Amino acid sequence: MKSNSTLLVNIIRIGQELLSVISKRIPLRGVKALNFYPGIITMEPKPAIFFKNHTADELASLLAPFGVNTRLAGKLQSAILRGGLDEIPKAMEQTSWRVLEKVKNATVIPSLELIDKQVSPRDGFTKYLFKGDGDEPFETVRIPLLHVKGQEKYVVCVSSQVGCAMGCAFCATAKMGFRRNLQPWEIVDQVMQIRKDSQYPVRGVVFMGMGEPMLNYDRVMQAASILREPCGIAIDARNITISTVGVVPGIRRFTREKQPYRLVVSLTSANSEKRKSLLPVENTHPLEELMDAVRQYQEFSGSRMMLAWTMMSGINTSPEDAAEIARLTAGMPVKIDLIDVNDPTGVFLKPSVEELKIFRDSLNAALGQPIVRRYSGGQDINAGCGMLAGLHMVEPDKPPCASLHDHS
């Protein structure tokens, strides 16, 4: 009996040594770790590969061990992103079923859970409430552009984070605080789900929903790359807009990497002290530093720099505010994007018709450059700019705005 036990131990020892030698010469695919116990071998598999998290080229590299080439990776990407498949097909032309089976076992096609959908009876803006990897929901807005017959389309306003850490005084999302970054697939699937739910095509994406895109830079740029792939949703890079409140390192990196997307900077005040009270990012990245980064980007892009200005009555709509904008942007081609503040609490009010006229006339005179007035739709369903706050997170027995302030 003792000799049998000794023999078994020796066999296990020799087996371990043999596997050690083999593993050094031949990498073990699909194995993250090997743990040896008498008579037992356990193998921990590598994490699954998520579709909607990778470009087609990345998928080709990740799935190459299973026999997937660049052409097949593109076909799979197209079938899932454009075709909306929620599982790997059992058969594809000129593709072995064994390869497809291996891909199916190694991958996941994730999908957001739709919790709620609201359509504005006033202007057709539609707000979606989704849940992804975490427990906290986030919101997305479908913007209708239906004024040209035969060219009807939608733009999707996506969230990049749940909540936001920037603390802008007039924004409902800021009152949530920061919860988490969204993964690329969670951003991509916002567009996919709305595309599937839409009568007309989605032709543009704006990163102007919940969160500060530059604080989730890598995932945002990855999502944008996936959204513009020809084998996927194929949104033109020029129709993808990244918005920032002024995170300078992100702007500099965006310029350095020569990203092809449009950049919008939320300025809102050209006076540093005033800006600190409205946009706390001014304390970290003051106007002088911000405008240096903005000017570098404008020189790289060669196009007019879009500066967003959220108008608040009695705060940033005076002739002096217009003169400060002109001084701050002197010598740089810009376009000023004017938008009314949306604040259901009543702390910040949009300018009156007369106040807006005076401000706009002053801006025209001082600046002499294009000024556009952006329509903020969906206000009746809290889908307007600065109003997204994942309202299902609010206590049901309190009005949404009251709850947000109570938890700030």
Token look-up 């296990």 returns 12
What is each CA distance from 349 to 49, 76, 270, in whole angstroms? 48, 50, 19
Distance, CA of 227 to CA of 233 (rounded, Å): 6
Distance, CA of 17 to CA of 22 (rounded, Å): 9
Distance, CA of 225 to CA of 234 (rounded, Å): 10
Catalytic residue annotation: 139, 385
Q: What is the pLDDT of residue 387?
A: 87
Distance, CA of 50 to CA of 59 (rounded, Å): 9
Q: What are phi and psi of 251, to 5 degrees?
A: -65, -45
Q: Tell me the residue type at 137.
A: P
Q: Where are the alpha helices (DSSP H) in 122-180?
A: none
- Given a contact cutoff of 8 angstroms between Cβ atoms, the answer to whether 309 and 350 are in contact is no
Reported as a single tens digit per residue, the pLDDT across 284-298 is: 999 999 999 999 999
Distance, CA of 28 to CA of 34 (rounded, Å): 10
Q: What is the pLDDT of residue 46?
A: 66
| DSSP bridge pairs for 118 | 127
Q: What is the pLDDT of residue 4?
A: 54
What is each CA distance from 59 to 29, 45, 68, in whole angstroms? 16, 18, 9
Q: Which stretch of DSSP H or E encloses residue 3? A: helix 2-25
- Given a contact cutoff of 8 angstroms between Cβ atoms, the answer to whether 146 and 155 are in contact is no
Q: Give the largest Cα separation in the chain, rounded.
A: 102
Q: What is the pLDDT of residue 47?
A: 74
DSSP string, 244-309: ES--HHHHHHHHHTT--SEEEEE---SSHHHHHHH-THHHHS-HHHHHHHHHHHHHHH-SPEEEEE
Q: What is the pLDDT of residue 281?
A: 98
Token look-up 């807006």 returns 356
| DSSP bridge pairs for 141 | 127, 157
Q: Residue 139 contacts by C-beta under 8 Å, 6 or more apart in sequence?
A: 127, 128, 129, 130, 159, 209, 210, 383, 388, 389, 390, 391
Q: Residue 90 contacts by C-beta under 8 Å, 6 or more apart in sequence?
A: 97, 100
Q: How far apart are the first and last CA of the chain?
A: 72
Q: What is the pLDDT of residue 393?
A: 44
Q: What is the pLDDT of residue 13?
A: 58
Structure tokens at 368: 């002499």
- Given a contact cutoff of 8 angstroms between Cβ atoms, the answer to whether 386 and 172 are in contact is yes
- Given a contact cutoff of 8 angstroms between Cβ atoms, the answer to whether 191 and 233 are in contact is yes
Task: Identify the segments of the chain with pLDDT beneath 70.
Answer: 1-46, 391-408
Q: What are phi and psi of 295, to 5 degrees?
A: -65, -40
The pTM of the full predicted model, rounded to 2 decimals, is: 0.85
